[in-house]
Amino acid sequence: MTRAGRSRLSLALRRLRLRWTRVTQPVLGPFRARWRRSLMVRTMTITGLVTGFVVLVSGVFILTSIGGDLYAARRDQSLQDSARATLAAQRLIDASDASDRSALSTLVGNVRRTVQDASASQMVYLRRQPGQAPLPEAPPPSTTNPVLVDAVTPELSRALVTDEQPQHWQAVTFVAEDGTPSVGIVVASSLTLPAGAGVYDLFIGYNLDDTRQTLAFIQRTLFIAAAAMMAFIGVLVWIMTRIVFRPIRAAAAASRRLAAGESDARMSRQNDEHFDMLSDGFNDMADTLHTRIQELDTLSEMQQRFVSDVSHELRTPLTTIRLASQVLQSSSGGLEPGQQRAVEVLGTQIDRFESLLADLLEISRYDAGRVTLETEPTGLVSLVEEVVEGLRPLSDSVIEVRPLGGYVTIDVDARRIRRVISNLVGNAIEHGEGEPVIVTIDSNASAVAVTVRDSGVGMREEDLEHVFDRFWRADPSRKRTLGGTGLGLAIAREDATVHGGVLEAWSRLGFGSVFRLTLPRGEGVRSFVSPLTLVPEEILAEEGDPKATGGWLRRPRLWSSRSEGSGAGPRPKEGRR
């Protein structure tokens, strides 16, 4: 086969496979899914198939054996019956002295009646054997049923002439005058008439339709028995699998309850050596896990309380140090330049220390789940412009605000959202290398979004995965221009999450970074798509495939309030008032 022929054959086979998949998928798809995830279904199906195969093979063997035995018994009975009738007919012929045509005709009639009386069949056909010389005195053929005449085949006639066996038989089909077929056999033998009449062939037909009906009755009986057996075995397998898999279901239910937070979930004993070992091991594991969780909860609570207490306790000495710093700053005119610089650094570090304490307190509140939102109708455009106006004097970068939408008011905690925007713009200023910072606001029917883009050095992909980690910095050697505690982005993401929104980041070395804050437009919004793309338009145009993600988020993403995990999507709002 040529290469073109192989290609056409391969294409045809692929199309056939696709067409077959398209036809069978609606029917077999649910079963395949159930087959893959259910051990019970697989066990019952395999057991049913094996049992059905065994029943089928056994039924075929039994039917074949019974059918063969019935046919052989009826055939032997017919041969014996035919031999007995033939012997009686030959005795009658041997005792006769018929010599003319009339007497021979009477003899043939008597022979036919004798055969009918001596055999169990009423289908008798007597004729002069073909191939003999014509004889006017020979009587004509005689039959009791024309159906038998039509059933005699040339093969059976030739066997009587060429074979020296006294009996020959053949399986035939008798067709009645109304066209009804019936199975049977024809037994043939030879009779020698007196007065030179020659050899006559005697055919006796035996209708085996009663045997066929008996076999059909046996078939129906076996089929009903097999169906009942299959149903019984199916019910038995279902009951046994339910019993066998009951401990597994109990373990699965206990594990689900344990995973759902029910610390008292335990697996009951199943009165089986191996499953009881499983139950004991599972319960011991649950006890150990419960103990460890209690220890971790206690440790976490102690840690949160420690951070909160330390933060509160540090405020008193910090206030004293700030007062002392202010006194030194007020009298710094008489100090030497080096001392004046030390006083300025002291004031700056005190401000940063106070900011760190505030961030630690905020993080401790999030960790303890004690965050309370004070929501109010807020216009995101005006809030962003207010934050940008406050940061412009602190930066040499040009900050451009592009309000494409978002003029509608939404219920948010303005203080927290202001902190998020301030943190994102401040990071863009710090890492933007003096390049312009672009802040874009837009909205759609379900969400409002803000993106902050800088054109700085950017980050590697592995660094981007840690950008929201606490106290993490992509380049620890970089100098902070606006201060910072290393907790800003972590708190910003928590602020976005507690509002039911999401904070995402995109970055690439040499292209800068983009941060996107997306907030739902109401508490009833369960899922939303951000109105702003995360990847810059020129990057998408450069790659030539706006829909390809390539490891980055390239298109609007559907967020749902049912998503779980930190930063993986909005979580249910808590503490809102």
53-101 pLDDT, tens per residue?
Answer: 898 898 889 888 988 888 899 899 999 999 999 999 889 888 887 777 7
Q: How confident is the model at residue 569 (pLDDT cuts 50, 70, 90)?
A: very low
CATH class of 9-258: alpha beta
CA distances from 167 to 21, 128, 156, 204 (A): 61, 16, 10, 11
CA distance 328 to 286: 61
3-state secondary structure of 142: strand
What are the start-end ranges of the H helices in 260-374? Answer: 273-330, 337-368
Q: What is the pLDDT of residues 505-547, one digit of tens each?
A: 998 888 889 999 999 987 777 788 889 988 888 777 776 654 4
- Cα→Cα distances 408→269, 402, 525, 533, 569, Å: 61, 15, 15, 20, 23
Q: What is the pLDDT of residue 29?
A: 64
Provide the percentage of residues in the chain whose pLDDT is more than 70. Answer: 86
**Average pLDDT, integer, range 354-369:** 71
∠121-117-108 over CA atoms, to 5°?
95
Ranking 114-123, 134-143, 319-328, 478-487 by mean pLDDT, the lowest is 478-487
**Overall pTM surpassing 0.75 (yes/no):** no
In CATH, what number does 372-560 get? 3.30.565.10
Angle made by CA atoms 330, 334, 336, in degrees to the nearest 5:
110
d(CA 367, CA 566): 12
Spatial separation of the C-alpha atoms in residues 267 and 281, rounded to whole Å = 9
Give the pair of three-digit tokens for residue 21.
């998949």
With a CB cutoff of 8 Å and minimum separation 6, the contacts of 135 are: 128, 196, 197, 198
CB 148 within 8 A of CB 203: yes
Average pLDDT over residues 112-141: 85
pLDDT band at 185 (very low <50, low <70, confident <90, very high): very high
Instruction: Tell me the helix, strand and coil percentages in the chain, rounded to 5.
Output: 55, 15, 30
DSSP 406-420: --SEEEE-HHHHHHH
Which two three-digit tokens encode residue 275? Answer: 């499953």
Adjacent-strand bridge partners of 504: 516
Structural domain spans, the chain: 9-258, 266-370, 372-560
DSSP character for 186? E
Q: One fold for both 9-258 and 372-560?
A: no
Class of domain 266-370: mainly alpha
The rounded distance, in Å, linking the Cα atoms of 496 and 305 is: 24
Q: What are phi and psi of 267, to 5 degrees?
A: -100, 125
pLDDT at 24: 67
Token code pair at residue 118: 């001596």
Task: Identify the pLDDT of residue 544.
Answer: 60
Say yes or no to pLDDT of 221 above 50. Answer: yes
Contact in structure between 364 and 303 (CB atoms under 8 Å): no
CB-CB contact of 52 with 223 (8 Å): no
